[in-house]
Amino acid sequence: MAIFGAPVSLADHRERAVRAALEMVELIDGFNREQARRGGMEIRIGIGIASGPVVAGFMGTQQRVTYTCVGDTANLAAHLEAHTKVAGQPILIDETTRAGLGDGIRVEPLGPAQFKSRSHTAQVYAVRPAQRP
């Protein structure tokens, strides 16, 4: 899990999160090309990004502490990550994230999805890598 915009608020947290996801996918693609060249095993990742309010802070014991977040937005991100396998897309985002992105990030609407433990559907979008010249 990665958190953008907490504990310090960032106006462009949505774009930072999506750009980090795109970079992760690009690095995995490079790794997989090298693995294929060597005859090794390739890997796939799925990334779900949701934007909205969360409860964020340090949790744990005196021996082990971690910074994390909980709440509906964190749950939606987890659902989106799991849905990457169904959608066949490595990066999925919600409507709130999409609304905060600039023109430089390409998205494709995939329509609404109903996720377990949620009373209403979520609009899902696939993030497309930038086209190379």
pLDDT digits (tens, 9 = 90+) for 69-124: 999 999 999 999 999 999 999 999 999 999 999 888 999 999 999 998 888 999 99
Residue 68 phi/psi, 5° resolution? -150, 180
In the predicted model, is pLDDT for residue 44 greater than 90? yes
Mean pLDDT value of segment 1-5: 90
Separation of CA 31 from chain center = 20
Q: Is residue 3 part of a domain?
A: no
Q: Is residue 6 part of a domain?
A: no
- Share above pLDDT 90 across residues of the chain, in percent, rounded to a whole number: 85
Q: Is residue 64 part of a domain?
A: yes
Q: Is residue 133 part of a domain?
A: no
Q: Is residue 4 part of a domain?
A: no
Q: Is residue 72 part of a domain?
A: yes
In the predicted model, is pLDDT for residue 133 greater than 60? no
- Strand runs labelled E in 52-105: 55-60, 65-70, 91-94
Q: Is residue 18 part of a domain?
A: yes
How many domains does the structure of the chain reveal?
A: 1
Task: Look at residue 100 in the predicted model and tell me its pLDDT.
Answer: 93
Cα 73 from Cα 54, distance rounded (Å): 6
Domain span including residue 111: 13-128
Q: Is residue 2 part of a domain?
A: no
Task: Specify the CATH number for the domain of residue 89.
Answer: 3.30.70.1230
